[in-house]
Structure 1
Amino acid sequence: MNPTLSPDAARDAPPGPGDALLLVDVQHDFLPGGALAVPQGDRVLAPLQRCLAAFARQGLPVFATRDWHPAAHCSFTAQGGPWPPHCVAGSAGAAFPQALQWPPGATVVSKGTETGQEAYSGFAGTELAAQLKAAGVRRLFVGGLATDYCVKSTVLDAREHGFDVVVLRDAVAAVNVQPADGEQALGAMAQAGAALRDSAQALG
């Protein structure tokens, strides 16, 4: 990201030095057929793969968060939580889909690894902020699942940590427990200062 650009122009610039791609929880259990499937969650795969390829071509860093829960995690219904068991560490449901081709050196950040602690945000209880700063990252391009939960929480925390954020609108999908949850989440992220761009527009 060119530091000589104005703030608005810099936010709209295509990926470059100082930028990273962050994929949030694109795991089998959140895709169609999974234990906690996001409706039409698989529509994020094609735009995310385009972004992975674009960042790989430029040698820009790629990060991915994943739910990596113990079998008795507090978010599961059997423990009084709101969700069915999902993304149990080491399970097939916790794996990334083969449709995504990761570049060498991509950094995977596991979250929700403690039995008694929920973690929607990729920054919750992880070293993600420190890892991004160590890599010289100032701006994040973010896509993944789900818009109204882990994507929103991760983006809001990224803004709190001082990162510029571009949310890839065509590369996120919402649970929509209430019909407008996804749109409200996008609005909350924009209000926090994140830019909302389709992937083709964001890649330039």
Structure 2
Amino acid sequence: MSAPTPANSALAIIDLQNDFCPPHGALAVTGGRDIAPAINTLLSLPFALKLATRDFHPPDHISFASQHTGKKPFTDSHTIVSPKNQEEEQTTLLWPDHCVQGTPGCELIPELHTSSLHFIVDKGQDKRVESYSAFGPPFRRPRVGMTELDAKLKEKGIEHVFVCGLAWDFCVQSTAVDAVEHGYSTYVIEELTKGVDQSEDGHEKTKAEMEKSGVKVIGLESPELDAIRKK
């Protein structure tokens, strides 16, 4: 695969939504709003594609603790079975209601320069399954509820995907790992993402998991981003 250039690279901004940001987000990630200015700077670079993703849940989504009698957010978990293959399952934490379609919490934060985006990917629309990844849920035999992201990247000839946004240890990680699976060279910009678990051990554990899956974790001054800046 060739080196990253503006013509073959995409910037993916993950879930920079009101409900994931302080001070009033239903599932606010500490410091989540603080990364917006530097992300806006990246949006001024000549990436071939610039996209954002949103959790876009129906009000009865399976990931909400409110949909499970006696279950509490952040504490209890639920095992989701693929609706198309009983042998595939995913166990995940349950969350407070968040990013519900049609609510202010679902919208991208106003600080983000959305006029620079080429498109928005809405994920998590199928109430039966969880979709941390911008590509879709983790079920593979067969795939369930996949988004249009892979098709849009391939249509544009994208080979390299640069990932930032929220949250480091959930949707950023899942999107980056799936991007590698789909055949893209994938880079997570470490300074431009915040985690739900912000302990040093938690951060390093997620970083190691991503790198083991083939994701390259980079900084803002990395040669890969310099290649985009230099046009």
TM-score (normalizing by structure 2): 0.77
For residues 47 and 31 of structure 2, the distance between their equivalents in structure 1, rounded to whole angstroms, comes to 30
Decide whether the 8 Å contact of 1:52 with 1:102 is kept in 2: no
1:108 aligned partner, one-letter code: I
Identity across aligned pairs (percent)?
36
Decide whether the 8 Å contact of 2:9 with 2:47 is kept in 1: no
Q: Where has structure 1 moved over 4 Å in runs of 4 or more?
A: none
What does residue 30 of structure 1 align with? 20
Q: Does 1:192 align with 2:213?
A: yes
2:18 aligned partner, one-letter code: H
What does residue 99 of structure 1 align with? 111
Q: Tell me how far 1:177 sits from its aligned partner.
A: 7.7
Tell me which of 74, 79, 95 is aligned to 2:62: 74
RMSD over aligned CA atoms reads 1.8
Q: Tell me how far 1:105 sits from its aligned partner.
A: 5.5
Any gaps of 5 or more consecutive residues in structure 2?
69-77, 79-93, 137-145, 227-231
Report 1:172-191 matches (<5 A).
172-176=193-197, 180-191=201-212
What does residue 51 of structure 2 align with? 63
TM-score (normalizing by structure 1): 0.87
Q: Which has the higher strand share?
A: 2
2:61 aligned partner, one-letter code: H
Report 1:155-166 matches (<5 A).
155-166=176-187
For residues 20 and 152 of structure 1, the distance between their equivalents in structure 2, rounded to whole angstroms, comes to 17
Q: Tell me how far 1:191 sits from its aligned partner.
A: 1.7
What does residue 6 of structure 1 align with? none
Tell me which of 109, 125, 137 is aligned to 2:158: 137
Alpha-carbon distance change, 177 to 196 in structure 1, aligned in 2, over 3 angstroms? closer
Q: Tell me how far 1:89 sits from its aligned partner.
A: 0.8
Decide whether the 8 Å contact of 1:44 with 1:172 is kept in 2: yes
User: Helix, strand or coil: the match of 2:6?
Assistant: coil
Q: Does 1:203 align with 2:193?
A: no
1:98-154 deviation per Cα after TM superposition (whole angstroms, max 9, x unaligned): 111124551111111011111111111211111110111110010010010001111
For residues 165 and 37 of structure 1, the distance between their equivalents in structure 2, rounded to whole angstroms, comes to 26
Q: Tell me how far 1:173 sits from its aligned partner.
A: 0.5
Q: Tell me how far 1:69 sits from its aligned partner.
A: 0.3
User: Helix, strand or coil: the match of 1:162?
Assistant: coil
Q: Which has the higher helix share?
A: 1
User: Helix, strand or coil: the match of 1:17?
Assistant: helix
1:33-58 deviation per Cα after TM superposition (whole angstroms, max 9, x unaligned): 2000011112221221111111xxx2
Q: Tell me how far 1:180 sits from its aligned partner.
A: 2.7
Decide whether the 8 Å contact of 2:44 with 2:116 is kept in 1: no
